[in-house]
Structure 1
Amino acid sequence: MKNTFGLDDKVIPIYFPSSLVRWLESQGYKREELIEGTDLEATEIDKPEALTSFRKHRKIIENAVRLADSPHLGLAFGQQLQITSMGIVGYAALSEKNVGQSLQTIVKFIRLQASLLDLELARKEDYVSLLIDETIDLGSIRRFIFETILAFSCNMLESQGIEKLPGMRCKMRMTKTDDWDDYKHLLPFPVQFDQSVNALEIPAEYMDLPLKMADPVSASNAIKICEEQLQRFENQEGLLNRLQALIEDSLDNPPSLAKAADHFCVSPRTLRRELEKLDTTYQTQLDHYRKEAAINYLKGSTLSVQEIADKMGYNDSSNFARAFRKWTGKSPGDYRQ
């Protein structure tokens, strides 16, 4: 399932990059260098409830790989992550009856802690496949993310007494790197590259293994909290999706905040408040989609700047040019060249 959020929409929990920053700090790296180029305040890293954008999320990981000078940093990072790093989702998974139910809980609520990933469980003969897909093009951080998942999965299973992981294997869409043989010892199972899917294949017999911390009462309470949080998350994500569709359908004559609120059958105050919860505003969203549309027109069409301005709802091309320079640092003409 693909997400429709933009690169700058603050809809991604910051816990993952913040965990990476804190871990590298313990290795002697400086927080200021790790968050360089993100516009994040150093204190934001210590707010687990905060949301960030994919662009900032990606930049932190790129900084980390560059500073650590380690192409397979994800393996080392994943090795030190514990399932409790996933917050309430992790506690819910740990409290389940067995490995199978624990995996089902993670799959159901993964979006609360890792909205960049989409998980699915599929039974195939004697194996259960944990299919892993990305909800947005991960680009430069794809290898880091997937190698973190592999190492983290080992920790999760080993924490339940499955230490040797006999029979487990992994399939990856990515191409094998020239130096992989120097790192493959960090994983206790083989990895097959250039496959049609990303998947962890786990022997079906593991699914019934009991969990050490199984507690039906704790599991029920934790899952209830997860379900409430997921409902709020989906409501917020749905609002952004609906707002995106409204703006994209009317870029040449975008509605005011009041008219947008009327379209959603809420008051302007309610719409403003719901967007504030996502750390954004109506004007920010309008500018974002205007920018994306303008860039697409400049790159893929021969329309004049005035014609593009008209399509963006600007009566005066100079106002459009001013806005575009604010968005990109360049004039429309310079950007097209």
Structure 2
Amino acid sequence: MSYPERTTSSSWAMAIVQALELEGLSGADLFADLGMDYSLLSDPDARIPQDQMTRLWQRAVSLSGNPAIGLGMGKVIRPAHFNVVGFSLLSSKTLKDSLARLVRYQRIIGEASDMALLQTPDSYVLELQIHGDSLPAPTQSHDAALAYLLAFFRWMTGDRITPQRVGFAYPAPADLSAYEALFECPLAFSRPRYSIEFSRQVMEAPLATGNETLAQLHDQFAGEYLARFEQTRVTHQARQVLCRLLPQGEPKRQAVASALRMSTRTLQRRLQDENTSFQQLLDETRRELAMQFLRQKRMTLLEIAYLLGFADPSNFFRAFKRWFGMPPGQYREQLQESQSMTEDS
């Protein structure tokens, strides 16, 4: 199944380059070695393909010999690195609101990132997964995101706040000193997802930089940017329509085309230009929503099936097993076991 190439904001790429340069590498040389256009970093609206960013990290690790080089992202803090999203975060009332905005606008920073903000009785957990295109996303890109987020929060609050725990999806490295020095909290490795957890007290405390008027203004800017960004791709528009129509039953191609004010033939051609099809997009949208819904413990499997537009729940069960190789009930049990392990560690 093929989808439009994922991209990363040049602003975030600039932060990565600045962090690598603090490690003694030359950003210009790295870009030249990889055949990348270094001038894109000076254009805040430019986008860089995800696979190029993967090769950049791989090259940096190869030259430095430091697999933990991504942790250096915590040394280069600037709101503009998050593009227009950074100022929205800065004007939020609390860190909780700031994280909620980061999740909402994550695709502006990088299309490959998948974030979810979960609430427990005593804490808030940000789960993170960065997806690759033809190349798997490197561990360093995840390390960089977690390190930068913590450093950004410390910069916003003026306090050296510490997480309750940080989780990594790879085995524990032999040398943990860089991790321990940065995070100053319990570390968990070989987890299903990358995550960082903060106490409710830290997350719900008022921020000195909070300004509701500015936050709304920055939300408007971020929303307009996201709209401009997404309107260039019919895939994203069609996915939004599918999410809206699915609870009413399986959407027909004509209904989606009408919502986008185009003919079914035009919709089919535009999706084909973006290396997908209506059926593929419908299948992938259902798959992504299924993962989200199964995290909601109060939702029954029957409710999820209907919300995904399946008139017959058995069709949902068959589709889910095709997607994940197991029934939805078993998948939910694994999610709950994973969450319990995180809470107990």
The TM tier, using the shorter chain, reads 0.5 to 0.7
**Correspondence for 2:266:** 264
**Correspondence for 2:111:** 115
Distance in 1, Cα, partners of 2:24 & 2:194:
33
**Correspondence for 1:62:** 58
- Deviation (angstroms), 1:133: 1.9
Q: How many residues align?
A: 255
Answering whether residue 220 of structure 2 is matched by residue 218 of structure 1, we say: no
Rate the CA distance shift 1:11–1:76 in 2: closer, same or farther, 3 A: closer
Q: What are the ranges of 5 or more consecutive residues in structure 1 without an aligned counterpart?
A: 243-259, 276-280, 290-337
Rate the CA distance shift 1:261–1:179 in 2: closer, same or farther, 3 A: farther
**Correspondence for 1:155:** 151
**Correspondence for 1:205:** 201
Q: Secondary structure at the match of 1:159?
A: helix
Q: Name which of 88, 108, 130 aligns with 1:134.
A: 130
Are 1:13 and 1:49, in contact at CA under 8 Å, matched by a contact in 2? yes
**Correspondence for 2:3:** 5
- Deviation (angstroms), 1:75: 0.6
Are 2:20 and 2:72, in contact at CA under 8 Å, matched by a contact in 1? no
**More off after superposition, 98-107 vs 22-31:** 22-31
- Deviation (angstroms), 1:167: 5.8
Q: Name which of 100, 106, 115 aligns with 1:104.
A: 100
- Deviation (angstroms), 1:59: 1.4
Which residue identity does 1:72 align to in structure 2? Answer: A
Q: Secondary structure at the match of 1:12?
A: strand
Distance in 2, Cα, partners of 1:209 & 1:4:
44
**Correspondence for 1:19:** 15
Sequence identity of aligned pairs in percent? 19
Are 1:169 and 1:191, in contact at CA under 8 Å, matched by a contact in 2? yes
Q: Which has the larger radius of gyration?
A: 1
After TM superposition, the score normalised by the length of structure 1 is 0.65
**Correspondence for 1:87:** 83
Q: Deviation per CA, 1:194-229, whole angstroms, max 9, x where unpaired?
A: 223322111112222111211222111110111122
Q: Secondary structure at the match of 1:76?
A: helix
- Deviation (angstroms), 1:77: 2.2
Q: Secondary structure at the match of 2:99?
A: helix
Q: Secondary structure at the match of 1:201?
A: strand
Distance in 1, Cα, partners of 2:37 & 2:19:
18
Distance in 1, Cα, partners of 2:167 & 2:207:
26
Q: Deviation per CA, 1:252-299, whole angstroms, max 9, x where unpaired?
A: xxxxxxxx9982269x9xx7xxx9xxxxx95xx67x99xxxxxxxxxx
Are 2:129 and 2:194, in contact at CA under 8 Å, matched by a contact in 1? yes
After TM superposition, the score normalised by the length of structure 2 is 0.63
Answering whether residue 168 of structure 2 is matched by residue 172 of structure 1, we say: yes
Distance in 2, Cα, partners of 1:73 & 1:138:
23
Q: Secondary structure at the match of 2:128?
A: strand
Answering whether residue 35 of structure 2 is matched by residue 33 of structure 1, we say: no
Distance in 2, Cα, partners of 1:173 & 1:23:
22
RMSD of aligned Cα (Å):
3.4
